[in-house]
Structure 1
Amino acid sequence: MSTESSSPQDKTRQQSPSTPQTPLTNHLIAVMDSQPVPAAVLGEMRQQVRDLPEIKTWSQLKQWFHMNRPAGAWTMGRLFDAQKAHHAQYLDDALAKWSDANSVHPEMPPRGTSSKKMEEMARKSWEGER
């Protein structure tokens, strides 16, 4: 009999050693995967990877990458790092937008701080924009 929990909070995917931060939950990864891939990422990838089909979301890009394993500078780790950087930028932008709309209070954490509360706030905002 297994004592392992199957809740989304317990199932986490560790980030690469080059970016020591809070682990990403499966739910957060699913939310991130549904978002569009920035044009800059696709543009850089198209310069190095031949025959990249029309890709819109991170999920589509990961699926294609997993099935095709293209040669070159792009690795699955680099793909995850690009997605995490995109998500971090989104959190910064969401916090700035929220701060502008709600006048920043002294108890607010500094911009760029990644806390569960800020991630939850950003996730709700992100899901509300869809």
Structure 2
Amino acid sequence: MFKEIIIYNWYDNIISAFCKSDGGEIYYCNLVAMGDDQAEKIYACIELKYFVRADIILNIIENNTYLENEEVLHEALNRVRPNNESFLIKTDNLQTSNLKIVKYKNDFNWNHNFFSIDYPTGLEISAKLDDWGRYF
């Protein structure tokens, strides 16, 4: 599914990454759930075009200026258009081809700073988000 993974945040596992598809689309993928043994992980993925400030995010990716623009990037990642498409994938490792789409979601409200919550607090919060965290 993804031909290139640009890891944005790492802590024993990939927490968040920008993932380029074979078709050239760029997705932001963020860890939302893990099995007890940490072998299975669920990531929420949303295409860059659904972010209000996609141009800024793309510029940061292309120039590899994550550290210099961390605050700007966090703000941009938490401004998702109301009309959007996102999906959950289940995998043992985001960098493999062993990805399984488990749920699609339209127009989900991501604008509550979810993408800038510290790990592992984000996992605890995502477990309370209706059917987005109930796969384990």
Question: TM-score, normalized by length of structure 2?
Answer: 0.29
TM-score by length of 1: 0.30
- RCO greater where, 1 or 2, for CA within 8 Å and sep 6 or more? 2
The structure number with the bigger radius of gyration is 1
Structure number with higher helix proportion: 1
